[in-house]
Structure 1
Amino acid sequence: MIMGLLISLVLIASLTQIIVGGSVLDTFSKVTLRIINILFGISIVLIILIVVMENGSPATTMAWILVLIFLPIVGFILYLFFGRNWRKKRLFSKKGYADTKLLLSYVHNHPSDRENNWQNDLTARLYNLLKNNSKATLTVNNNVTLYNDTGKAFKAILEGINSAQHFVHLEYFSIFADETGYTLQKLLIQKALEGVEVRFIYDDVGCWMLKKSFKQELRDAGVEFVPFMPVWIPFLNSRLNYRNHRKLVIVDGNKAYLGGMNIGDKYLGKKRYYGYWRDSLAEIEGKAVNALQAIFLADWNFVTGKNLMQEDLLHKYLPVISPDKQRFLPMQIVADGPDSDYDSIMQLYFAAITYAKHSIRISTPYLILNESLLSALKTAAISSVKVQILVPDKPDHFLVYWASRSYFQQLLDVGVEIWTYHKGFNHSKILIVDDEFLLIGTANMDLRSFKQNFELAAAIYDKTVCAEAIKQFEEDLLSSSKIIPEKFRQRSMLQKTKESICRLVSPLL
């Protein structure tokens, strides 16, 4: 295969010289042609490196090969900034080391509370997986309130922040300087002026349109408003590919808010195109808040170099939480990202789907599957496990929307139920297995969330909380349409073409 690619590229370069004609070229054209030929040569070298040395996913490898063949110049630039793993390892080697030290410090000071009577085959396996692949300690004595309406969720966040006496910690991918954004900004400024410590990590790419005045007003009031991995040269920086997709609020170390909702009018259903915005958020109280706090403090150490998990500060930022008002409710907090040794959340999806005995419910705005997850879902359905997947009816990203639909036929053919949400836009990220395991957080069911983004999720082992999540899921189905396999097969050739093309590049999305 490599020889065929080499010959093809050499022929293209030779034909270019023949067509243009060497004798007619002026000096500028000759230099341009030489540059093109050099780039062709570089593409050849890159193809060899991809095939021989990367030893990665075959789908991703083939996608990059096609990009380099058909777009040698553009493909070379894209590969330089987005394709090489060594950049990721270099960028996050220090972060991984620091995070490990901080998280191990947390685990040492907060040993796992474990009672075996809550475990069965499913929950025991998932618990051990997360303990080993992401150092996720088990926490108990928690309370969880689930919100499926973003207006109520945002109101709860504002009320929580307003109650803060000591500190508020926030971490968001995207913030907009609109009515919703300014409402949060005004409250944070108020709390900072009251003497409450306010720390805010925002993603530099996710907030690239955020006004400088919005940021400066926060900083002038004493809010520590810090970008995650700032990109100094937009679109030409390897940092662009690794983003902080986490959405988290922690109040005084005893209450936390985790989910898929960003900050902006769009996320409260105030944009005509999207209409009602369906998202999921968990309000968490209890010992799991300490685990979320440890992850925030590790991120804070990475972006600022300030270690707030020193011995003399632990009592302040990781307070002892009384179990008096909480139920047993076991939970693990999963932090995942390109600095992780394993694709922890992807492995959790795979394991939960594989171990399911009777039901799997998934809600996700994007559905980009690798071969393992696709096979796991198909195998579960063939094994008579009821699999239901809820996705949006309308696109917010053209490529991802059509790439997601390219998986529908294979899933429908084995009995997977696919529902499209038409009340508005479904941005919820939920996995429910066998009515006793719930995963809720920031990760979409796509390769970018599993491989490139920093994500955060709560793995909850509680039938009562799962029952509430199932109730909300079934309410969503009332505002959705079930795709009929026979009708889907009759979709137009144009739709099939868009699906196929977008799926081809889906490993790079």
Structure 2
Amino acid sequence: MKNTVRVLLFLLILTGAIFIFRENLESELFRIFSLIITFSVFFIGLVIFLENRHPTQTITWLVVLGSFPLLGFIFYILFGRNYKKERIFRKKYFLDKQAFLTVEGEANEIPANRQSKYAGQQQKLVTLAQRLGNSPISFTTETKTLANGSETFEHILQELKKAKHHIHLEYYIVRDDEIGKEIKSILCRKARDGVEVRFMFDAVGSWQLSKKYVADLRKAGVEAVPFGPVKLPFLNNKFNFRNHRKIIVIDGMTGFVGGLNIGDEYLGRNKKIGFWRDTHLMLKGDAVRSLQLIFLQDWYYMTNKSLLTEEYFPHVPAGRDLGGVQLIAGGPDNEWTAIKKIFFSMITSAQKSVWIASPYFIPDEDIKSALQIAALSGIDVRILMPNKPDKRIVFHASRSYFPDLLEAGVKIYEYQHGFMHSKIVIVDSELASIGTSNMDMRSFHLNFEVNAFLYRTESTRKLVNEYVNDIKDSKRLELESFGKRHIGYRLLESTSRLMSPLL
């Protein structure tokens, strides 16, 4: 199948060249190649049909291919080839699962002395997360929510400087700017001092990262590895599956996860974007083992080097009950779309409230229906989003969902103080998720993501307070006024939404 698509792509490029110089070609030859591209589009349409995707995706692809054959063909090659993702990542999924069983053992049950505190919906969610993510729950891990780039990078820089044995970093976007250079300097210095430093960055997300930046790291002794390198995007069937995770593990004892990449814009230094509102999480304790394991399995996937040894999983003494913490990895290698299903369970189990913050909101029918039903049932459902785009198509596609949600009683707020990039779900002020996953189909089905799920922790209470403050800096949308927006915006939103199932 892969070779067939590559041949078809070659024919498409050749056809384009013929189109450019068509005046110098016989009309009969031009018609022959027109038939070839028509056959190519028909073939792809048949492949999409036989993949048994969601009907919305199938119909959308067929409409695009039928209406715009040449453009649809190119778009499919770039973003649509999901037919092999199970085969591509099946081996990784089973290796990851086996690694969790080897390091962590069978997923643990909530101890008897904590059953009363974590009864009901917490117990069900813990069980679901364990079965979907193969991840244990920790009750003695210290967590600290970090609001915005200044607080986040202050703590990250402090902890990096304390490293004694190893530093592991995994990021979607890394920039060679002021904060990027500062982190590079620390990593190089630590590597020269004998600390093991491993640095993984997504090849597409960090495509602007200079070769000199990576060369400087390697020269100092840092092992720097791109995730999913793409030499020829059109011919690479992994182009559409990106590593969106943001992970730091220091000495196996301290970890970071959340929404911030490495770049000056996350510190509000981009004048066009302005203030960047985001949320990160620092962890100290045995839940860091799960974060470590996620990193090491990604490292093994790219380097074929296994590091599942005791030195990377130090023993953590038992401590007092600080609330439950679970780290869940999601991605195209996961057969259960774990993070989406946990989100769905959180929404449908809510008794009082569901509060969501996401910069990119393109729900599938499951999530959309769950939110509508919760709101219609009297649950306080809120969605907090940015009021200005950094990705225009996604921004306008998100707004196309607003009327149906507003009609059901969902409260939608647009953040006014800058750009909202936090990725938060809070249920009943007791359960919370914080991590890298957006509330959209790309995060659910295509990206490698990681989220921390918190159960009655001090960090959960802080997230609640921060969310309330963010609402004060936001404008609530009203159904009546939103429905009066210009027809041009509606057309743009509908067009963007039509494209969203393709991504």
Q: Give the TM interval when normalised to the shorter protein.
A: over 0.9
Relative to the length of structure 2, the TM-score reads 0.92
The answer for the alignment partner of 1:221 in structure 2 is 220
Q: How far has the Cα of 1:102 moved from its partner? A: 1.2
**Residues matched between the structures, number:** 481
Tell me, yes or no, if the aligned pair for 2:107 and 2:135 is still in contact at 8 Å.
no
Amino acid across the alignment from 2:160? I
What does the per-residue CA deviation read over 1:300-330, in whole Å, with 9 as the maximum and x for residues that have no partner? 1101100001xxx22x101111134x53421
CA distance in 2, matches of 1:41, 1:487: 48
The answer for the alignment partner of 1:186 in structure 2 is 185
CA, structure 1 residues 140+28, in 2 after alignment: closer, same or farther (shift >3 Å)?
farther
Q: Does 1:452 align with 2:446?
A: yes
The answer for the alignment partner of 1:318 in structure 2 is 313
The answer for the alignment partner of 1:12 in structure 2 is none
Q: How far has the Cα of 1:56 moved from its partner? A: 1.4
Q: How far has the Cα of 1:112 moved from its partner? A: 5.7
Amino acid across the alignment from 1:329? G
Aligned to 1:397, which of 391, 405, 427? Answer: 391
Q: How far has the Cα of 1:106 moved from its partner? A: 1.6
CA distance in 2, matches of 1:255, 1:436: 24
CA distance in 1, matches of 2:419, 2:322: 35
Q: Does 1:95 align with 2:92?
A: yes
The answer for the alignment partner of 1:126 in structure 2 is 125
Q: Secondary structure at the match of 1:119?
A: coil
CA distance in 1, matches of 2:24, 2:38: 21
Q: Does 1:388 align with 2:387?
A: no
CA distance in 2, matches of 1:118, 1:57: 40
The answer for the alignment partner of 2:292 in structure 1 is 293
1:132-171 paired onto structure 2 within 5 Å: 132-171=131-170
CA, structure 1 residues 328+112, in 2 after alignment: closer, same or farther (shift >3 Å)?
farther
Aligned to 1:56, which of 53, 56, 80? Answer: 53
The answer for the alignment partner of 1:477 in structure 2 is 471
CA distance in 2, matches of 1:32, 1:306: 52
The answer for the alignment partner of 1:423 in structure 2 is 417
> Which 10-residue stretch deviates more, 57-66 or 180-189?
57-66
The answer for the alignment partner of 1:270 in structure 2 is 269
What does the per-residue CA deviation read over 1:72-113, in whole Å, with 9 as the maximum and x for residues that have no partner? 123223324532333312321222222122111122288566
CA distance in 2, matches of 1:113, 1:141: 13
Q: Which runs of 5+ in 1 are unaligned?
A: 1-19
1:463-474 paired onto structure 2 within 5 Å: 463-474=457-468
Q: How far has the Cα of 1:148 moved from its partner? A: 1.2
CA distance in 2, matches of 1:369, 1:419: 17
Tell me, yes or no, if the aligned pair for 2:246 and 2:257 is still in contact at 8 Å.
yes
Q: Does 1:45 align with 2:40?
A: no
CA, structure 1 residues 25+187, in 2 after alignment: closer, same or farther (shift >3 Å)?
closer
Tell me, yes or no, if the aligned pair for 1:361 and 1:432 is still in contact at 8 Å.
yes
The answer for the alignment partner of 2:3 in structure 1 is none
Tell me, yes or no, if the aligned pair for 2:265 and 2:273 is still in contact at 8 Å.
yes
Q: Secondary structure at the match of 1:334?
A: strand
CA distance in 2, matches of 1:85, 1:344: 18
Tell me, yes or no, if the aligned pair for 1:130 and 1:348 is still in contact at 8 Å.
yes
CA, structure 1 residues 61+213, in 2 after alignment: closer, same or farther (shift >3 Å)?
same
CA, structure 1 residues 425+260, in 2 after alignment: closer, same or farther (shift >3 Å)?
same
Q: Secondary structure at the match of 2:176?
A: coil
CA, structure 1 residues 111+306, in 2 after alignment: closer, same or farther (shift >3 Å)?
farther
CA distance in 2, matches of 1:159, 1:319: 21
Q: How far has the Cα of 1:494 moved from its partner? A: 0.6
Q: How far has the Cα of 1:281 moved from its partner? A: 0.5
Aligned to 1:30, which of 12, 28, 31? Answer: 28
Tell me, yes or no, if the aligned pair for 2:385 and 2:414 is still in contact at 8 Å.
yes
Q: Secondary structure at the match of 1:331?
A: strand
CA, structure 1 residues 249+26, in 2 after alignment: closer, same or farther (shift >3 Å)?
closer
Amino acid across the alignment from 1:232? K
Aligned to 2:324, which of 326, 330, 336? Answer: 330
CA distance in 1, matches of 2:110, 2:316: 13
CA distance in 1, matches of 2:149, 2:243: 21
The answer for the alignment partner of 2:346 in structure 1 is 352
Tell me, yes or no, if the aligned pair for 2:78 and 2:233 is still in contact at 8 Å.
no
CA distance in 2, matches of 1:159, 1:26: 66
Q: How far has the Cα of 1:400 moved from its partner? A: 0.1
Tell me, yes or no, if the aligned pair for 1:112 and 1:139 is still in contact at 8 Å.
no
CA distance in 2, matches of 1:25, 1:205: 38
Tell me, yes or no, if the aligned pair for 1:332 and 1:459 is still in contact at 8 Å.
yes
Q: Secondary structure at the match of 1:458?
A: strand
The answer for the alignment partner of 1:281 in structure 2 is 280
Tell me, yes or no, if the aligned pair for 1:437 and 1:460 is still in contact at 8 Å.
yes
Q: Secondary structure at the match of 1:86?
A: coil
CA distance in 2, matches of 1:492, 1:110: 53
CA, structure 1 residues 112+29, in 2 after alignment: closer, same or farther (shift >3 Å)?
farther
RMSD: 1.8
Tell me, yes or no, if the aligned pair for 2:167 and 2:198 is still in contact at 8 Å.
yes
CA distance in 1, matches of 2:271, 2:28: 53
CA, structure 1 residues 228+25, in 2 after alignment: closer, same or farther (shift >3 Å)?
closer
The answer for the alignment partner of 1:8 in structure 2 is none
Q: Secondary structure at the match of 1:154?
A: helix
Identity of aligned residues (%): 38
Tell me, yes or no, if the aligned pair for 1:113 and 1:140 is still in contact at 8 Å.
no
Q: Secondary structure at the match of 1:106?
A: helix
Amino acid across the alignment from 1:411? L
Amino acid across the alignment from 1:443? S
Q: Secondary structure at the match of 1:400?
A: helix
Amino acid across the alignment from 1:95? K
CA, structure 1 residues 371+111, in 2 after alignment: closer, same or farther (shift >3 Å)?
closer
CA distance in 2, matches of 1:93, 1:205: 22
> Which 10-residue stretch deviates more, 445-454 or 135-144?
135-144
Q: How far has the Cα of 1:486 moved from its partner? A: 1.2
> Which 10-residue stretch deviates more, 369-378 or 85-94?
85-94
Q: How far has the Cα of 1:130 moved from its partner? A: 1.1
What does the per-residue CA deviation read over 1:343-378, in whole Å, with 9 as the maximum and x for residues that have no partner? 111111111111111101000001101111111000
Q: Secondary structure at the match of 2:226?
A: strand
CA distance in 2, matches of 1:184, 1:392: 28
CA distance in 2, matches of 1:328, 1:423: 33
Amino acid across the alignment from 2:312? Y
Q: How far has the Cα of 1:404 moved from its partner? A: 0.3
Q: How far has the Cα of 1:168 moved from its partner? A: 0.6
The answer for the alignment partner of 1:508 in structure 2 is 502
Q: Which runs of 5+ in 2 are unaligned?
A: 1-18
Amino acid across the alignment from 1:86? Y
CA distance in 2, matches of 1:422, 1:39: 48
The answer for the alignment partner of 2:172 in structure 1 is 173
CA distance in 1, matches of 2:23, 2:412: 58
The answer for the alignment partner of 2:247 in structure 1 is 248
The answer for the alignment partner of 1:14 in structure 2 is none
The answer for the alignment partner of 1:108 in structure 2 is 105
